[in-house]
Amino acid sequence: MSQNTEAMQTPHDKAKDMVQIIAELTELPVENVQEMYDKVSKGATLAEIFHVRSESLEAGYALACALLSAGKPKDAVHLFTSVCDLDQNNAKYWLGLGCCYEKMGELRKASLCLANAADLENCQNPKPMYLLAQCCIALDEKETALNVLRATMKAGNENNPTHMWYRTRAQEMVNTLSKK
């Protein structure tokens, strides 16, 4: 295909070519690949596409949590990554993955996961935000930490004692960081 012809292709044409190439490489029928592509483009998770039961995802998540609690974040990170890959829209999976990376000292990766968890919950759960702020502090990103902590202080439900605990700790951290 010449550069001129390629430049004139629409996104639809490029997607159609991609589906054809994938079908050839995988030896799957074009219709199957097209069906998967259509589902992904509409926001489907891999778990939905491959019919992975939610119970299976939750079992993987529970095992990952147990490994993390047992002090084995390097083992847990593989399971958390798998459940995140299968259901990229589940905030608690991203929270778990972020906690693994934090325990392993990989604070940039932890921050990305925790920010994703917060975003998936529309910043209404203060826990991932509070943990993200802690990573920012450890990375010496004071202004970012302060911004995240201020958002944490507004997040969640005032009737939820756990949310209130994070909001109170966030306020204390803002006070401490503001003095420095």
pLDDT tens string 125-144: 999 999 999 999 999 999 99
Domain region containing 147:
121-180
Q: In the 8-state DSSP scheme, what is residue 55?
A: H
With 80 as the cut, is the pLDDT of residue 21 above it?
A: yes
- 14 occurs within a structural domain: no
- 154 occurs within a structural domain: yes
- 173 occurs within a structural domain: yes
| Full-model pTM | 0.81
Q: What is the pLDDT of residue 7?
A: 58
Higher pLDDT, 11 or 90: 90
Alpha carbons 111 and 99: distance in angstroms, whole number? 9
CA angle 161, 163, 129 (to 5 degrees): 160
CA angle 20, 23, 24 (to 5 degrees): 90
Which of 126, 80, 133 is closest to 107 using CA atoms? 133
- 146 occurs within a structural domain: yes
With 70 as the cut, is the pLDDT of residue 1 above it?
A: no
With 80 as the cut, is the pLDDT of residue 13 above it?
A: no
- 165 occurs within a structural domain: yes
Do 151 and 123 meet the contact criterion of CB atoms below 8 Å apart? Answer: yes
Q: In the 8-state DSSP scheme, what is residue 89?
A: T
* CA distance to 40, 42, 46, 158, per residue, from 49 (Å): 8, 11, 5, 38
Q: What is the pLDDT of residue 15?
A: 75
- Number of compact structural domains in the chain: 1
Percent share of the chain, pLDDT over 70: 94
Do 114 and 98 meet the contact criterion of CB atoms below 8 Å apart? Answer: yes
- 133 occurs within a structural domain: yes
Mean pLDDT for 143-159 is: 95
Average pLDDT, the chain: 91
- 4 occurs within a structural domain: no
Do 165 and 147 meet the contact criterion of CB atoms below 8 Å apart? Answer: no
- 134 occurs within a structural domain: yes
Q: DSSP 3-state assignment of 66?
A: helix
